[in-house]
């Protein structure tokens, strides 16, 4: 065992761990958080539209608009992420100015994640008891008030737990972006593990990815439970 810790590959791996990992972890975290943020910015209104616009119950929008929206979301969700990253190169170049590097991976990540987020939000909002919406209508709530004061606040616990699912999924995607020049833990795992057979480095990268997922999930679960007023016996 002492041989292993003295071995060349271990010393090298430890060296990379010290020099490259801090930045890689930071890159992974900020790409994931920023991408999730933008995906929610785009996905939230779409998710609301999918639920509130259905059969003109809350917002009256043409059926065809909803239909097109559904098709676009399904289309984007069916393209594998690796292919999507390459397909959106022109858009990435337009927004970021380059297609390689860490900031450049945010564009494909957001494009891949917002339809997913829209579906998650749709699911959260559908859980609301329709009678509560009817009650708000009976009290003279306008469509905007129903969305802002009833639908969203009532589904906060579910929205938080779905946002947690989104952020862990996006973390996985961000690791994949290492293949096309994105930074972060994914890049380290691919460059050292896959291209240079330094499996130990890849192993470290995976351990950190697992840790990040655990941290995000724990925070998300904690917040979701903490703010759910439906649970009895709270202080």
Minimum gap (Å) between residue 132 Cβ and another protein: 5
Give yes or no for residue 145 binding another protein (CB under 8 A): yes
Asked if 134 interacts with another protein (CB under 8 A), we say yes
Q: Does 139 bind another protein (CB under 8 A)?
A: yes
Q: Which of 55, 78, 90, 230 binds another protein (CB under 8 A)?
A: 230
Locus of tokens 């938080």: 160
| Residue 148 makes contact with another protein by CB under 8 A | no
Does residue 154 interact with another protein by CB under 8 A?
Answer: yes
CA-nearest of 84, 74, 147, 88 to 116 is 74
Establish if 234 lies at the interface with another protein (CB under 8 A). yes
70 binds another protein (CB under 8 A): no
Q: Is 19 in the site for another protein (CB under 8 A)?
A: no
Smaller CB separation from another protein, 155 or 191: 155
Element spanning 225, H or E: helix 199-226
Spell 94-117 as b/e; 16+ CB within 10 A means b: eeeeebeebbbbbbbbbbbbbbbb
User: Judged by CB under 8 A, which of 19, 78, 83, 229 binds another protein?
Assistant: 229
Using the contact rule CB under 8 A, the part of the chain among 32-40, 43-51, 100-108, 125-133 near another protein is 125-133
54 binds another protein (CB under 8 A): no
Span interacting with another protein, options 61-69, 118-126, 133-141, 211-219, rule CB under 8 A: 133-141
Which x/- pattern over 156-185 shows residues binding another protein (rule: CB under 8 A)? xx----------------------------
What DSSP string describes 82-140?
HHHHHHTHHHHHHHHS-SSSTGGGHHHHHHHHHHHHHHHHHHHHHTS-HHHHHHHHHTT
| Residue 80 contacts another protein per CB under 8 A | no
- Give helix 21-52 / helix 8-19 axis angle, nearest 10°: 60
CA–CA dist 101, 189 (Å, integer): 16
8 A C-beta contact, residue 225 and residue 213: no
136 binds another protein (CB under 8 A): yes
Q: Does 235 bind another protein (CB under 8 A)?
A: no
Q: How far apart are CA 50 and CA 66, in angstroms?
A: 7
Give me the long-range contacts of 136-141 (CB less than 8 A, separation at least 24): none
One residue of 4, 64, 140, 195 binding another protein per CB under 8 A: 140
Applying CB under 8 A, which residues contact another protein? 129, 131-132, 134-142, 145, 149-150, 153-154, 156-157, 227-232, 234
């Amino acid at each position: 065992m002492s041989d292993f810790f003295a071995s060349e590959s271990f010393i090298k791996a430890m060296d990379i761990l010290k020099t490259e990992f801090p930045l890689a972890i930071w890159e992974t975290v900020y790409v994931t958080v920023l991408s999730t943020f933008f995906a929610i910015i785009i996905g939230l209104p779409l998710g609301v539209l999918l639920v509130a616009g259905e059969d003109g119950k809350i917002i009256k929008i043409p059926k065809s608009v909803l239909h097109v929206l559904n098709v676009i979301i399904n289309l984007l969700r069916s393209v594998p992420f690796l292919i999507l990253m390459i397909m959106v190169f022109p858009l990435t170049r337009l927004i970021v100015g380059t297609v390689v590097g860490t900031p450049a991976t945010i564009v494909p990540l957001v494009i891949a994640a917002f339809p997913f987020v829209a579906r998650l939000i749709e699911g959260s909002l559908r859980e609301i008891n329709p009678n509560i919406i009817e009650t708000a209508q009976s009290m003279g709530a306008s469509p905007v008030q129903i969305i802002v004061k009833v639908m969203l606040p009532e589904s906060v616990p579910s929205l938080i737990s779905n946002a947690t699912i989104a952020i862990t999924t996006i973390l996985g995607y961000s690791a994949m972006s290492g293949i096309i020049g994105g930074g972060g833990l994914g890049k380290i795992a691919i460059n050292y593990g896959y291209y240079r057979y330094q499996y130990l480095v890849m192993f470290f990268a995976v351990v950190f990815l697992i840790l990040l997922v655990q941290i995000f999930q724990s925070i998300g679960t904690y917040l979701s439970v903490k703010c759910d007023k439906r649970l009895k016996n709270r202080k």
